[in-house]
Amino acid sequence: ALVASSEFVRKADLDALIKTLKESGNSITSYSYHASSSFNSNQLVKASKPLIVDSGASHHMISDAKLISNLKPALGDVVIANGDRIPIKGIGDLRLFDKESKALYMPSFTSNLLSVKRTTSDLNCYAIFGPNDVYFQDIETSEMLGKGKAKNDLYVLEDTKKSLPLSCSFTSAIPVIANAMDTMWHARLGHPHSRALKLMLP
């Protein structure tokens, strides 16, 4: 069995999540959910709760067993901003954009959190944030894998299936950074355009 170390969720993210759930008509207490025969489900099903894209989470935290395949029991917990410990009941594969990414199964958690770090690592892709949406782009092919929308100050991914191709080149709008050093400076300098970055770092 896997023993996971404690992870932390920022209070601001938790508050925004609670606000979103309340505005969508879902109460926090209505999400008590227990492992059942669907524990070993291999089906790809649209989530009953959307995936909240979280740049602060180091792991996907999924409360909906229908989203996870190859689920195996695991031990551990996650500590959230208010100090509560949420138990981990399993680990499995979350199907994202026709690829797989490891996820923690936490049935007593109130939502489904998609870790940006885990997504970009497991899928070898970029996460590109705009004011109204987030895109996931394959590093090797520059193909757009998926897209989320901003909703109540959170980025939400409602569908884990691969996006349809765009009519124009996605890479023409968002240049790919060539190497790790450029990527680091691109982030540190506030995400300037690649031409501006080349002027600053010839």
Range of the domain at 49: 2-122+153-157
Residue 178 lies in a domain: yes
What percent of the chain clears pLDDT 70, i.e. is strictly above it?
60
Residue 164 lies in a domain: no
Residue 85 lies in a domain: yes
Residues 122, 115: contact at Cβ < 8 Å? no
- Which of these, 43, 20, 39, 21, lies nearest to 31 by C-alpha position? 21
CATH number at residue 48: 2.40.70
Give the Cα separation of 148 and 130 in Å (integer).
10
Residue 162 lies in a domain: no
Each residue of 25-65: pLDDT tens digit? 543 333 322 232 233 333 334 446 889 999 888 889 999 98
Higher pLDDT, residue 98 or 174: 98
Q: Check whether residue 28 and residue 97 sit in a common domain.
A: yes
Q: Check whether residue 12 and residue 101 sit in a common domain.
A: yes
Higher pLDDT, residue 69 or 7: 69
Residue 148 lies in a domain: no
